[in-house]
Structure 1
Amino acid sequence: MRSSNPVFSRRGFSRDNGQAGFNAAPQAGGPAVGTTQNPYATNPYATNPYAPQTDGQYGGAGPQAPARAGVMTIDDVVTRTASTLGTVVLTAVLAWVLLPVDQNNVGKSYGIAIGAALVALVLALVQSFKRKPVPALILGYAAFEGVFLGVISSAVSTYLSPGVVVQAVMGTMAVFAGVLIAYKMRWIRVTRRFYGFVMAAAMGFVLLMVANLLFSVFGGGDGLGFRSGGLGILFGVIGIILGACFLALDFKQVEDGVTYGAPREESWMAAFGLTMTLVWIYLEMLRLFSILSGND
């Protein structure tokens, strides 16, 4: 089963035996998985595709493989994530200042925001289908996503509630910290069942939001009402919970990458996935607090 996050659905990442980890296929000529001759039979990561064998190829047994340089570390993930999130914040602030959402510039600002969102989507899709991370694509996605978030945040702050943006930022940080603590304490366990539930729920959520958008565009108003009023609050909470679940999946992928020797370049993919998830949570927080402020 492939990773729930498309940026991780590439060589090396999969889910086997009910847990998330790297692809693990038995090596030719080696003991069969699940037999008493194999001391790693119960380890879903016994075969590490990133560990070099004696013949110079990859796919040797993780515990028996020699240590190698250039593997992903937590410091790498933190540094790359700080770079991507810093780019998002910087371009968001610039967009807020340079693209004011007032009566004279509202059309222009919204047009630029929509264009930036589309460019960010294209860059994200291109990177997702590449076998190796391209830092320029990832940072480009972060920059254009920041422009979109800056304009949207400015509009919400101007026309709805000035304090909503701060509340959304604090809420996003709280969710990140809460999920990280819960994951480290093993209150959240990423299993195949957890993965399947999250993916099914996310697919249903996205389909409902698309349907609501289509009804809104062609029927006017707020479509099916999923993004305002009582239903809006309910779906906002569901969206935040889904974002928290995706954070847990992201943390699992990072943990597996560090533990089982993914290449250092994978830290860019980890940063990419975490950034997309945090953007999701922030947007849901922004909508939820806007509704709760009584200005939906």
Structure 2
Amino acid sequence: MESKNPVFARSNEWKQNGYATFDAPTSSRQAAPADASARTLEDWYQKPSATPAQSRRMTLDDVVVRTASLFAVLLVGAAGGYLGVRNGSLGFGAVIVPALVAMVLGIWAQVSRKVRPGVMFAYAVLEGVFVGAISAMYASLYDGIIGQAVIGTLAAFGGMLIAYKTGVVRNSPRFTKVLMIAGIGYLVFALVNLGSALLGFGSVYAGGGLLAIVVSAFGVVLASLFLVLDFDYIEQGIRNGLPVKESWRAGFGLMVTLVWLYLEILRLIAILRGND
């Protein structure tokens, strides 16, 4: 089954029945035909041996290390965005610019067939600035909300990981299809809601209320379920013996989902506390 996570979708190696190529030509993975020319055989044997980086396969430790390194850079950016808002040097308009640039970089990292750690790190910095700034804006209204959102994100991550490993929640073609339809629908809703707010027609989340709680809670659940896709596709990649460089793609996918989950939880907590 092909990955539906946009970070993994363009990589054939993330298919359940895929395999790692280690930068070798397709023909070299097959047995040489009986009538192969001496020239062809000579070319095969004269090719340089694969380097350790090319031949080493991705492991769970590799994914953890790459994910942690991306998050470390994201936290540096978040600290800058947070302090910039708190001391007044960054306004909301200034925060939107790095968010838009981060979106472009994220799309580039996702659609590129080549693994691009540099682009991923640039995304992490700029997205961190946006996350830190938004967090500071919420913190100015609700004391302790950042810590609550972080704890909620970690709890959701741990809960979904346990549910996945114990088989309570499993990925399947139907599960993926339903989740992707829901994700696209939620994205369309978010864009329409943002446009409505910018045009002065109001936002679903403005003023709180039951509808705002339901919609925000749906976003939290949806982001949490996308973690199941991340877990499943990373497990497939390790099982299929992908090159170690693919661990960057895996770490980037996890980071994107967890940032989305954090922002959804942050907003839900703000709505709930605003209704008190």
TM-score range, shorter chain: 0.7 to 0.9
2:101 to 115, 119, 122: 119
Within 1, Cα distance between the matches of 2:232 and 2:30? 22
Q: Aligned equivalents of 2:189 and 2:93: distance in 1?
A: 25
Distance 2:142 2:148 in 1: 10
User: Structure 1: how far apart are the matches of 2:127 and 2:26?
Assistant: 44
Q: What is the aligned partner in structure 2 of residue 249 from structure 1?
A: 229
SS in structure 1 opposite 2:199?
helix
Query: Which of 87, 92, 98 lines up with 1:110 in the alignment?
Result: 92
Give the helix-richer structure, 1 or 2: 2
**In the TM superposition, what are the counterparts of 1:52-63 in structure 2 within 5 Å?**
56-57=28-29
Aligned-partner Cα distance in 2 for 1:127–1:295: 39
Matched, 1:215 2:200: no
Deviations 1:162-183 (A, max 9, x none): 2111111100000000011111
The residue number in structure 1 matching 2:111 is 129
Unaligned runs of 5+ in 2: 32-53
Matches within 5 A, 1:132-281: 132-158=114-140, 160-222=141-203, 224-225=204-205, 228-281=208-261
* Structure 1 range deviating more: 113-122 or 50-59: 50-59
Mapped to 2, the partners of 1:197 and 1:226 lie a distance apart of 29
Distance of aligned partners of 1:12 and 1:111 in 2 relative to their CA distance in 1, 3 Å threshold: same
Q: TM-score, normalised by structure 1?
A: 0.79
Residue 69 of structure 1 corresponds to 55
Partner of 1:100: 85
Is 1:78 the counterpart of 2:61? The answer is no
Shift of 1:219: 3.3
User: What CA deviation, in whole Å up to 9, does each residue of 1:42-79 have, x standing for no partner?
Assistant: xxx3x6353879952379xxxxxxxx931111010000
| Cα offsets for 1:76-97 (capped at 9, x unmatched) | 0000000111111121112212
**Matched residue count:** 253
Q: Distance in 2 between matches of 1:208 and 1:147?
A: 25
* Other-structure match for 1:29: none
1:197-253 per-position Cα deviation (integer Å, ceiling 9, x unaligned): 10011111111121111222223332x458832111111111111111110000011
Note if contact 1:237-1:288 (Cα within 8 Å) is conserved in structure 2.
Answer: yes
Question: 1:113: how far off?
Answer: 1.2
CA distance, structure 1, for counterparts of residue 93 and residue 30 of structure 2: 48
* Secondary structure, aligned partner of 1:56: helix
**Cα deviation per residue 1:247-292 (whole Å; 9 max; x = unaligned)?**
0000011101111101111100001110000011000011000011
Q: What's the C-alpha RMSD, in Å, of the aligned pairs?
A: 2.4
| Distance across 2 between alignment mates of 1:120 and 1:131 | 19
Q: Measure, in 2, the Cα distance between the counterparts of 1:295 and 1:225.
A: 11
CA distance in 2: counterparts of 1:228 and 1:239, whole angstroms: 15
Summarize the Cα distance change of 1:154–1:211 in structure 2 as closer, same or farther, 3 Å threshold: same
- Per-residue Cα deviation, 1:135-162 (whole angstroms, up to 9, x for no partner): 100011001010001111111101x202
Is the 8 Å Cα contact of residues 2 and 13 (structure 1) preserved in structure 2?
no
Q: Distance in 1 between matches of 2:69 and 2:96?
A: 24
Secondary structure of 2:66's counterpart equals helix
Aligned CA distance change for structure 1 residues 227 and 196 (closer, same or farther; 3 Å):
farther
CA contact (8 A) 1:50 1:58 kept: no
Using structure 2 for the length normalisation, give the TM-score.
0.84
Contact map agreement 2:208 2:275 (CA 8 A) in 1: no
Q: Distance in 1 between matches of 2:196 and 2:253?
A: 30
- The 3-state SS of whatever aligns with 1:114 is helix
